[in-house]
Amino acid sequence: MITLVLVDDQELVRTGLRTLAERDGDITVVGEAADGRGGLGVVRQYRPDVVLMDIRMPVMDGIAATRAIVDDPVLAGVRVVVLTTFDEDENVMNAIRAGAAGYLLKDVSPVDLREGIRRVAAGDALLSPAITGTVMRALAGRLSRSTRPALVEGLTEREREVLQRVALGESNAEIGAALHISPATARTYVGRLLTKLGARDRAQLVVIAYESGLVLPGS
């Protein structure tokens, strides 16, 4: 059973998310909060697998709350998905820098919402196609002027291939199928990449892949 905490300042939104998330029976909402500070308290109490976190809230916003969760060693197993109606470049990048494992817009389909929660709980990053495009557009100007190839110089050819697939948002199973390796082997490669590149999670690997020039916007 995947445990979930909802943090959003609109009760109606939380009610809808609870209904949608719990529909298939493998996800259960263990707590809710209406602002980031309250969310921290609930997360510390229940230590859920996943937190769905709104960005714009009173008292403490979602980015600050995400950073506090990620920086707390007691909450090392908790993964945050930022859920918002706002898709500005700055919010996307700040959420990833704060340690969010995923980012979805609130108009995501119910099926994609549940699948997203499952993927993040399993250790995958989650960036919706619209958000991935936003992140890459934010990087595009920087990348057109200069890249940082040194970020990936120490990687083997296979590790580069896996990193490219991660940057496309593929799961371990999808990476394995594309490269003719098992999902477990793909997971091992991703673990090596996290260590070698000093990345917190797969979402940060996506940014590194583009900043290094290994993958280019629009590719």
Q: What is the CATH number of the domain that holds 57?
A: 3.40.50.2300
Cβ atoms of residues 95 and 83 within 8 Å: no
CA atoms within 13 A on the CB side of 89: 9
Q: Are strands 126-127 and 2-7 parallel, antiparallel or unpaired?
A: unpaired
Asked if residue 150 is part of any domain, the answer here is yes
pLDDT value of position 90: 67
In this prediction the pTM is 0.75
Q: Measured between alpha carbons, how far is residue 155 from residues 102, 159, 210 in Å?
A: 25, 6, 15
Q: Measured between alpha carbons, how far is residue 22 from residues 4, 29, 112, 131, 157 in Å?
A: 9, 7, 13, 25, 42
Residues 107 and 165 in one domain: no
Asked if residue 167 is part of any domain, the answer here is yes
Q: Measured between alpha carbons, how far is residue 2 from residues 47, 68, 98 in Å?
A: 11, 22, 23
Distance (Å, rounded) from C-alpha 80 to C-alpha 168?
Answer: 20
pLDDT value of position 204: 79
Residues 119 and 45 in one domain: yes
Domain span holding position 156: 146-211
pLDDT value of position 129: 60
Q: Residues in the chain with pLDDT < 50?
A: none
Cβ atoms of residues 127 and 203 within 8 Å: yes
Q: Is the dihedral of CA 74, 42, 87, 166 positive or negative?
A: positive
Number of domains in the chain: 2
pLDDT value of position 143: 53
